[in-house]
Structure 1
Amino acid sequence: MAIIGIDLGTTNSSCGIWTPEGVKLIPNRLGDYLTPSVVGLDDSGNLSVGRIAKERLISHSDKTVAVFKRLMGTEHKIKIGNRFFSATELSAIVLRSLKEDAETFLGEPVVEAVISVPAYFNDNQRHATKMAGELAGFKVERLINEPTAAAIAYGLHEKQEGTFLILDMGGGTFDVSILEFFEGVMEVHASAGDNFLGGEDFVDAMVDDLLNQYSINRQSLAPAQLNQLLMQMETAKRRISSKALNPIQITLAGQQIDFQPDEAWFTKVVTPLLLRAKRPIERALNDATMSPQSIDDVVLVGGATRMGVFRSMIGRMFGRLPSCHLDPDCAIAMGAAIQAGLKAKDQALNDIVLTDVCPYTLGTDVVNESNNQGGYFLPIIERNSVVPISVTRRLVTVHDNQAQISVGIYQGENRLVNKNVFLGKVSIDIPKAPAGKEGVDVRYSYDMNGLLEVDVTVISTGKAVNKVIEHSPGALTAEEIEKSRQKLAALKFHPRDQESNRALIARGERLYESSLGEKRQQIAQLLADFDQVLERQNPPEIQKAAAQLETILNRLDNEEWF
């Protein structure tokens, strides 16, 4: 059975497999290596995933959703049409689509996957990602941090030695990792990041600034208007350094907007986000007790690192040009595929010893000895500790004849426990005794997948309880998991052979929504003609008409239609 590597991204997802010739990226049903992480439902309740769903974000915004990776590990429910989904379920739908594509491409079942997660994902989010893979039908024994996967893709592990900074900014998250390679060992010295900083935020900042200039409230815009503006700003972001930058022309809240973005405006608008990006970089350097001069190379991955302003900032910080010769959108999938090959013990790969770190401090709540007040955080596993790791701390009673000790499990960096993330609780009965005379040993064990196990043992009796963090916020009970499996199983993808034609129609509808006048009439006629060809069900005629329609839509999409 094949094991594939998957980059489950905020904006796009992709997958690959290790072969004797090296990494091979797996194309989706439309022949693309990137599948937009967008899910939608049509009027018949059938699923749309990827490019088709993305094209329908404007015309069917109430039935289409994107950027749900940011909600992983939370209890938030997302409405699509008249149905509600968790971020875990939506991610499972994307993974299920990738699984089908891989099985079609490889011609064999795919039951196991290595899935990438942001290094700064907390325990809740890692559990949610693992559950999404299992709901999609995968056996998920290994999660790999995205910067680690990127480093493997760049072949940094093949160097004799060196210290490298991996900067991964995708659509929704920003990860920073400092890795050292020596004698076949890849050791992560420090990880930091921002789970709410990515390319989508740069687009949002552009949109907000434009709306502020014209005194327009974002909430006053219809979903289709807002999505149209977001897509235009996304295009402007990609072309900001190009002479081919077109003006933004759109009608919003009854106002005709005619705005010419330029590089100076873009830099001013996104400077606060660039300053946010500097903080985790500085924090990782500080945690690793390193200076910019001690970094041998800086590697950029993630589509948002293509921005010139970001690369310029990194160049100024480190006094050198960063490495970015691999496709930043595919580097993580390539690294995950190599890790999948390692897991399969493929003889074509030299074995690598991977060491990772715990991105957050893990601890418990304790009483302050000086004033007998509770609510303080006791670190047990410090952030950026190399994993796997197991640490034991002893806790004693604070009251006479105390009959039970409850160990709260928290994650975070604040000295006040209520400002950290609650993960769960373990309670155990103890013999009654004077305060301080009875207690427990608390062991936290954190593994390579970022999953936490807690053991609490009574000192005097040896009685012990164990807890693997499973029911954190956003996690599913066994009953909920089975309900999710049934719900997702009932949802059907459209037949693969219809996918490319549906993608063309969705793209045409998106252009129709965004156009006016003669151009809109032209697109309407093109789609009507294509519908007639499809109704005749003549495969050669459909293939020819589809090629002609795609050529025309490519030309229309690149015109100054906005």
Structure 2
Amino acid sequence: MAGRGSSLVRTQWRNLVSCNARRGLSTGAASDGAAGQVIGIDLGTTNSCVAVMQGKSARVIENAEGQRTTPSVVAFAPDGEMLVGAPAKRQAITNSENTLFAIKRLIGHRFTDPETQKDVKTMPFKIVPADNGDAWVEANGQKYSPSQIGAFVLSKMKKTAEDFLGQNVTNAVVTVPAYFNDAQRQATKDAGQIAGLNVMRIINEPTAAALAYGMDEADGKVIAVYDLGGGTFDVSILEISGGVFEVKSTNGDTHLGGEDFDQRLLEFLITEFKRDKSIDLSRDKLALQRLREAAERAKIELSSTPQTEINLPFISADQSGPVHLNMKLTRAKFQDLVGDLVHRTLGPMKSCLRDASIKVADVTEVLLVGGMTRMPAVQETVKEFFKKAPSKGVNPDEVVAMGAAIQGGVLRGDVKDILLLDVTPLSLGIETLGGVFTRLINRNTTIPTKKGQTFSTAADGQTQVGIKVLQGEREMAADNKILGQFDLIGIPPAPRGTPQIEVSFDIDANGIMHVSAKDKATGKEQSIRIQSSGGLSESDIQEMVRNAESYAEEDKKRREKVEHRNTLENLVYQAEKSLKDYRDKLNAEQIEKIEVAISEARDASKSETMSGEEMKEKITQLEQAVMIIGANMYKNPGNVDKEASASAQAGAQKGGAQDAEFMDAEDMSDKKKDESKN
């Protein structure tokens, strides 16, 4: 059997279906059938945000800590407890190996990818190869896929929305960087499924930002969206006209963002400290995490002040004792350290304008998205490139989630007269004879779309062909990202070039691709939804869903245990107070029973091993013991009455002071008149 792999030759081009026409897309929600609330989630590298439509506008929802954004951090405590968001970030210094952050940079990546290998060297946690070659992470000896960690963050956002809305939420629109490839988009959708969400739509972050910004804007605008976030950079050109948001082009770098700026400053601090103190902090995990957090704080502060001071007492020690880090850092020095990173954003901006066939002068508005756009050097670079000051009309941390919520409103049918036309960021094609990359869909093609091409065999008698699907912009297949491969078998033996094999690419509105190959002679067809040569299988996803559910159940048990502990502590306090106040009303046996119950309850409240059910049992026992006090008092009410009577008599013997307190106003007035006469 001949000709596996690069066994196809191109015979002709045929455009099967063009969905570029606006009539091919619906503004309504009929096809999606959304029921219930649809939330919008910006799953960010550094921070995440969730929003929902309220009336005609999107509202960002505060989390349990009262913040509008949530750190995209997941940590596993030594006892197995999982922490997400701010609680996870707070304990990172003492648990850096098991605190996972910036996982979005790994999503959809292979372990051997150059970007992954760079992260392996700089991240404090373990990045390991999965059985299928994907990049996974390890914490407490357990391996997790990036989709799984993303799912834990999405679950937190889901819970935030449910607490605010007072109802279960299952439907969501989730955003991704515009330059995410097919594997990364599919992995993001998998994360939503693991979190128990029906991801109705995956949309690009710059597009979502433009949607939030331009919902009430005038028509006829050409908007450039510059999105520099925690881990990725995107730039998109959009045209807004008649409620239609049409993406003209997009470009970017999925491994450029705030984490790189932090790392650059971190390396500078390590070098300077080593030069001054002859101590290498890069070998000290605790010190390294403190430095990492200090670098992030300094970066943020330098956006609003020309100089900051980094103080880290007891960062290390030598023979003379503790060693402290104290360093002044100017904005100018920081900008010098990261100047090349800012400069890297210029290339994608130029390519984006060129692909859109738009000149700088044609851009009417520039929108800044992502926390890194607060940096003055970034703002100045954008201003110089586009020859105009960027708009200040949106919150760069929240606008993406708001746009996702608006798209959710469109899918639900609440938001009318808005149509979103997005594009595929990279060219898609297959490998043909000689290892050539043959494009079927060019980058910046409006989606959804379906295109096809007819190929033939490369050898005589070939009865099967291998279809290798790739994504990228290089001319040779080996230089592009392989998305997947499959075989079409059962081709009748024939001279090379005779069989007619039609390969079709179908990209849905999420930017996720389906590929089919059909032998025209026999009608035999093979089709797949593209899953990366790595990626998660359906069984993997279902297993991770079960794991997520078990974590949710464990979290529920831990929360109940904390509540029971608080109840026990409060009951012990109340019981001790009641016993002290009414001890003389009880006999020795009753006192002993209450004291034993108090002691057992106190021990239970301090126990780390006792289950929630056992704590609940101690609560019941103490409540029943304390009831003895009340029952005993009601059983002998005469004792209380006699005491009250004796007290009243004692007061009367002191000169009738009590009687004067209860004299009414009329009596008091008559008394004053009598006194004045006398």
Q: TM-score range by the shorter chain?
A: 0.7 to 0.9
Alignment partner of 1:192 is 2:251? yes
Q: For 2:339, give the aligned amino acid.
A: T
Q: For 2:509, give the aligned amino acid.
A: M
Alignment partner of 1:77 is 2:141? no
User: 1:318 Cα deviation (Å)?
Assistant: 1.3
Alignment partner of 1:453 is 2:514? yes
Alignment partner of 1:358 is 2:419? no
Match in the other structure for 2:451: 391
Task: Choose 481-490 or 216-225, whichever is displaced more.
Answer: 216-225
Matched residue SS, 2:334:
helix
Give the alignment's TM-score, normalised by structure 2: 0.70
> 1:104, 1:201 → 2: CA distance?
35
Q: For 2:451, give the aligned amino acid.
A: V
> Kindly, what percent of the aligned residue pairs are identical?
37
User: Residue 307 of structure 2 contacts residue 329 of structure 2 at CA under 8 Å; is this kept in 1?
Assistant: no
> 1:42, 1:435 → 2: CA distance?
62
Identify if the C-alpha distance between structure 1 residues 303 and 399 changes in structure 2 by more than 3 Å, giving closer, same or farther. Answer: same
Matched residue SS, 2:308:
coil
Q: For 1:222, give the aligned amino acid.
A: D
For residues 499-556 of structure 1, give each alpha carbon's deviation from its aligned partner in whole angstroms, at most 9, with x where no partner exists. Answer: 9xx9xxxxxxxxxxxxxxxxxxxxxxxxxxxxxxx97xxxxxxxxxxxxxxxxxxxxx
One of 283, 291, 300 as aligned partner of 1:238: 300
One of 61, 80, 99 as aligned partner of 1:45: 80
Matched residue SS, 2:67:
coil
User: 1:172 Cα deviation (Å)?
Assistant: 0.6
> 1:79, 1:246 → 2: CA distance?
35
User: Residue 377 of structure 1 contacts residue 414 of structure 1 at CA under 8 Å; is this kept in 2?
Assistant: yes
Alignment partner of 1:30 is 2:65? yes
Match in the other structure for 2:291: 229
Size of the aligned set, in residue pairs, is 495
Q: Which runs of 5+ in 2 are unaligned?
A: 1-35, 110-133, 567-604, 607-678
User: Residue 193 of structure 2 contacts residue 545 of structure 2 at CA under 8 Å; is this kept in 1?
Assistant: no
User: 1:107 Cα deviation (Å)?
Assistant: 0.8
1:146-185 matched pairs, under 5 angstroms: 146-155=205-214, 158-185=217-244
Matched residue SS, 2:309:
coil
Q: For 2:428, give the aligned amino acid.
A: L
One of 157, 162, 165 as aligned partner of 1:98: 157
User: 1:195 Cα deviation (Å)?
Assistant: 0.7
Matched residue SS, 1:134:
helix
Q: For 2:96, give the aligned amino acid.
A: S
RMSD value, Cα: 2.3
User: Residue 365 of structure 1 contacts residue 417 of structure 1 at CA under 8 Å; is this kept in 2?
Assistant: yes
Identify if the C-alpha distance between structure 1 residues 97 and 6 changes in structure 2 by more than 3 Å, giving closer, same or farther. Answer: same
Give the alignment's TM-score, normalised by structure 1: 0.84
Match in the other structure for 1:401: 461
Match in the other structure for 2:409: 341
One of 415, 437, 443 as aligned partner of 1:377: 437
User: 1:461 Cα deviation (Å)?
Assistant: 2.5
Identify if the C-alpha distance between structure 1 residues 401 and 218 changes in structure 2 by more than 3 Å, giving closer, same or farther. Answer: farther
Task: Choose 253-262 or 405-414, whichever is displaced more.
Answer: 253-262
Match in the other structure for 1:495: 559
> 2:166, 2:69 → 1: CA distance?
20
For residues 216-242 of structure 1, give each alpha carbon's deviation from its aligned partner in whole angstroms, at most 9, with x where no partner exists. Answer: 897843222111111111111112251
User: Residue 214 of structure 2 contacts residue 240 of structure 2 at CA under 8 Å; is this kept in 1?
Assistant: no
Of the two, which has the highest radius of gyration? 2
Identify if the C-alpha distance between structure 1 residues 218 and 436 changes in structure 2 by more than 3 Å, giving closer, same or farther. Answer: farther
1:115-514 matched pairs, under 5 angstroms: 115-155=174-214, 158-213=217-272, 214=274, 220-240=282-302, 241-242=304-305, 245-249=308-312, 251=315, 256-346=324-414, 349-367=415-433, 374-429=434-489, 430-470=491-531, 472-491=532-551, 492-493=554-555, 494-495=558-559
User: 1:44 Cα deviation (Å)?
Assistant: 2.7
User: Residue 316 of structure 2 contacts residue 324 of structure 2 at CA under 8 Å; is this kept in 1?
Assistant: yes
User: Residue 223 of structure 2 contacts residue 367 of structure 2 at CA under 8 Å; is this kept in 1?
Assistant: yes
Match in the other structure for 1:109: 168
Q: Which runs of 5+ in 1 are unaligned?
A: 368-373, 503-533, 536-562
Matched residue SS, 2:329:
coil
User: 1:157 Cα deviation (Å)?
Assistant: 6.4
For residues 186-245 of structure 1, give each alpha carbon's deviation from its aligned partner in whole angstroms, at most 9, with x where no partner exists. Answer: 111111111111111111111222333435897843222111111111111112251562
Task: Choose 91-100 or 220-229, whichever is displaced more.
Answer: 220-229
Identify if the C-alpha distance between structure 1 residues 41 and 394 changes in structure 2 by more than 3 Å, giving closer, same or farther. Answer: same
> 2:365, 2:50 → 1: CA distance?
26
> 1:449, 1:305 → 2: CA distance?
27
User: 1:474 Cα deviation (Å)?
Assistant: 4.3
Alignment partner of 1:16 is 2:51? yes
> 2:360, 2:54 → 1: CA distance?
37
> 2:560, 2:158 → 1: CA distance?
13
User: 1:258 Cα deviation (Å)?
Assistant: 3.3
> 2:394, 2:560 → 1: CA distance?
30
> 1:330, 1:473 → 2: CA distance?
34
> 2:316, 2:534 → 1: CA distance?
37
Matched residue SS, 2:358:
coil
> 2:343, 2:534 → 1: CA distance?
31
